Structure 1
Amino acid sequence: MTIALTGVGFRPLTVPASIDADDAADFVEMMRVRNIVYAEIAGNDDEAMTPEALLPHYQPDPDETRHMWLVIRDGDVVGRVGVDIPHETGSKNAYWLIEILRAHHGAGIGSRAYDLVEQTAREYGRTVLQSWAEHPDASGERLTAPTGFGDIPRDRAARFYQRHGYALEQIERKSVLDFRTAMPLVEQHHLDALAASHGYRVVQWQAPTPAELRDGYAWVKSRMSTDVPAADMEFDEETWDAERIVRHDQRYLDGGQTVLVTAAQHVGTGELVAFNELVVGADRTAATHQEDTLVLKEHRGHRLGMLVKCAGLKTWHAEIAPDSPRVITFNAEENRPMLDINEAIGFAPASYSAGWKKVLA
């Protein structure tokens, strides 16, 4: 589908079977532009990914439908537009992004791209549209989250959301841990957490998840959609099973990424009750990304969050990616228990992102 705008069009992204395929050029160019946009916002390359790493995540997926368009201006790719449609039964949600190179801001491209977002959501009968954006700190007017935790500048991105009828719902903190200075604190807090977590043991594995752990891992993964602070953002309760874990792991492996899962297992029942994930790409000198971390509600109060984080960081730094300089993670600003853990072991705030929501008539 192409929408008319002088010199501007939107071309559906071709997702190749491999980066070596004859039709891979658009995907490679999309990734190049994506990485530039992220660097322009953050001022560094910590969010950069290779086409090889991200391509598996764009292959057909029984759990969601992913739409992506290239933004073309005068023959050049200058951005991308994405809409994700989850397949959970009864879902009302659609998730979207619009990313455009800074040199092309102010031309009306974003608003025309948003027309495509809303059109696609309506085609699927979705009425709850949600999106996230990083808002680097700046002077001037500020917006406070309705949770009462955190604020952001009313910058270009915030004004764009508001102009299109979106409400600010939640603020997330991006935190960074410097491996060069953090390990003594990690070691001490790991010992303290071990002493406080009687009745639990640490279980670790690198993807692919061993067959005997898939069901337990699937259960705690499913609780990420129900047990973390969500403010007034709306998330479907996700269904995870062993087969979905296999698909999840394989996407990372196909992209040349390394995943370490550190879990807490209840000794009495054998159930996994907490977990933490660390991920790095083929270049293990790049930044590490800490992805999901969760302690099941009924097992909180035993320092299991500290236990799985510190045990994971120790193994990661000693055995898997000793040359990775830092770890990046995101948490809701109102998630004080998890932020307390992060701050105690040396994570420092780096920037803030906001969750935005609109409900269609």
Structure 2
Amino acid sequence: MTTAQNETPFVIDLPSGATLHPLVLPARADAGRDGALLAYADVRNRCLEEASGRDDDAFSAEELLPLLTSDSHTTRRQWRILHGERTVGVVVFTVLHDDGGATAVSVISVLKQAQGRGIGTAVAAHLEHLARTEGVRTLQVWTEHVPTEDPVLVPPTGFGSIPRDHTSRFLLAQGWTLEQVDRVSEYRWSTGDDQMPALRAQYETAQAAATGYRVVQWLLPTPDERLAGYAWMKSRMSTDAPDADMGSPEETWDADRVREQDERWLDMGYTVQVTAAEHIATGELCAYNELSLKGADDSVTEQNDTLVLAEHRGHRLGLLVKTAGLLSWHEGHPRSTRVITYNAEENRPMLSINEQIGFVPIGYGGAWKKALA
């Protein structure tokens, strides 16, 4: 994995006596000994929990280090917002190379106790100046929200809504537009095995409809014989999944990029299972589902990508790979009793499969864009 090229560590003065400090990443995985990264991880986790009401995405400093490190497809930079010696916010700026650096993900997270002082606005101005200087034309960010009494915002797609809360008001004031709403869904395993017969029955229904296909599975790292097919499906994920008007760049995947992704997952301490559908006549991989677990076996499971290639739809392959994946995953990780997944609200086919399996909505998120003049 490529080591990030850290920005020259200069300090920027912000309102209310706050300062912005580049995060210089340590070179080794024993990053927990680094005070700056420890503080960054702690505040990042607290900001996410304040935004979502959940701690599912919390990372230790050691786990976070691979996620913050640049690779051949991204340039990643981070900062801490300090008030005195205390870290009160974190900042992420990730330039995507798939479209030549024209798109970047820009995240500003400030603890509630430090909000309302103009700090976020000043950081946003710095990031936009940096983006324009580097040729970035579009900024993106994904936000999470807990229910509030605020009025709601509906994206141009017409599907779903999020509250016009502090985060939404901040982005709107900065000229961002809400393009899409994501649903956060959860599947809970009961203490007994009463769910297994129903899940197996759904798998068998999907299997009967998927004539000419078979299920194949592997744990990361991806076996050599699956690299090309998996890479092709990952490429299609960036073009076939609903993206509203976000304009996310098309991703080009090959075997090396899959290996690089696998390395990052494993360095972060994840166990990842891929369940795919193979077209028997051609040997083509044409649908896949990813399940991942970080740390202890009783941690939350994440259902990541699920995709059925357009030319193979209509055979219940989405239900096939999801149910096959959950069945085998639960056998191997019975203490992980919750599965979390994200889907665009307009992605009715995938939401319908999740609802049929037993996923229920627990939260919503926003996909935002800002076009730079």
The TM-score bracket by the shorter chain reads over 0.9
Report the counterpart of residue 268 of structure 1 in structure 2. 281
Give the 3 Å change call, closer, same or farther, for CA 332–112 of structure 1 in structure 2: same
Looking at structure 2, the residues matched to 154 and 58 of structure 1 have their Cα atoms a distance apart, in angstroms, of: 30
Against the structure 1 CA distance between its residues 69 and 246, is the aligned structure 2 distance closer, same or farther, given a 3 Å change threshold?
same
- 1:168-218 Cα shifts (integer Å, max 9, x gaps): 110000001002275443222111111110111111000000001001100
Q: Note closer, same or farther for the CA distance 1:301–1:60 as it changes in structure 2 (3 Å cut).
A: same
Q: Cα 1:139–1:297, aligned 2, differ >3 Å: closer, same or farther?
A: same
| Among 8, 12, 18, the residue aligned to 1:3 | 12
Higher mean C-alpha displacement, 194-203 vs 26-35: 26-35
Task: Report whether the alignment pairs 1:80 with 2:93.
Answer: no
- The equivalent of 2:55 in structure 1 is 45
5 Å-filtered alignment, 1:1-361, equals 1-5=10-14, 6-20=16-30, 24-180=34-190, 182-319=195-332, 321-361=333-373
SS class of match (1:258)? strand
- Residue 14 of structure 1 contacts residue 24 of structure 1 at CA under 8 Å; is this kept in 2? no
- 8-17 or 133-142, which moves further after superposition? 133-142
- Stretches (4+) displaced over 6 A: none
Unaligned residue ranges in structure 2 (runs of 5+): 1-9
Query: For residues 327 and 309 of structure 1, what CA distance do their matches in structure 2 show?
Result: 12
**1:99-156 CA deviation, whole Å, 9 max, x = no partner?**
1111111111111111122122112211111111112222232111110101111111
Q: Distance in 2 between matches of 1:69 and 1:3?
A: 10
Whole-angstrom CA distance in 2 between matches of 1:224 and 1:22: 34
TM-score by length of 1: 0.96
1:311 CA drift (Å): 0.6
Q: Specify the code of the residue in structure 1 equivalent to 2:334.
A: P
SS at 1:249 equivalent: helix
SS of match in other structure, 2:44: helix
Let me know the Cα RMSD of the aligned residues: 1.5
Q: 2:71 corresponds to which letter in structure 1?
A: D
Whole-Å separation in 2 of the counterparts to 1:158 and 1:183: 41
C-alpha contact (below 8 Å) 2:31/2:37 kept by paired residues: no
Provide Cα deviations, 1:302-326, integer angstroms capped at 9, x if missing partner.
111111111111111001x210110
- More divergent stretch after superposition (217-226 vs 123-132): 123-132
Residue 200 of structure 2 aligns to a residue whose secondary structure is: helix
Instruction: Give distance in 2, aligned partners of 1:22 and 1:40.
Output: 23
Contact persistence 1:58–1:66 (CA under 8 A):
yes
Secondary structure of the structure 2 residue equivalent to 1:226:
helix
Please report how far the alpha carbon of residue 22 of structure 1 lies from its aligned counterpart in structure 2 after TM superposition: 8.9
| Cα displacement string for residues 200-251 of structure 1 (whole angstroms, at most 9, x for unaligned residues) | 1111000000001001100000111100111111111111100111111011
Cα distance, 1:69 vs structure 2? 0.5
Residue 59 of structure 1 and its aligned partner are, at CA, apart by 2.4
How many residue pairs get aligned? The number is: 360
The 1:108/1:242 distance shift into structure 2, 3 A limit, reads same
CA contact (8 A) 2:101 2:135 kept: no
User: 1:356, CA displacement in angstroms?
Assistant: 1.0
- Cα offset for 1:52? 2.3
Q: Distance in 2 between matches of 1:109 and 1:188?
A: 54
Amino acid at match of 1:2: V
User: Unaligned stretches of 5+ in structure 1?
Assistant: none
Q: Structure 1 pair 183/110, CA: closer, same or farther in 2 (3 Å)?
A: farther
Amino acid at match of 1:330: Y
**Residue identity (%):** 48
Question: What is the CA distance between 1:91 and its match in structure 2?
Answer: 4.6
Normalising by structure 2, we get a TM-score of 0.93
- Pick closer, same or farther for the CA change 1:282–1:21 going to 2, 3 Å: closer
Give me the whole-angstrom Cα distance separating, in 1, the residues matched to 2:159 and 2:79.
34
- Compared CA separation, residues 211 and 144, structure 1 to 2 (3 A): same
Question: Could you tell me which amino acid in structure 2 is paired with residue 355 of structure 1?
Answer: A
**In structure 2, what is the Cα distance between the partners aligned to 1:89 and 1:134?**
26
- How far residue 89 of structure 1 moved from its aligned partner, in angstroms, is 4.1
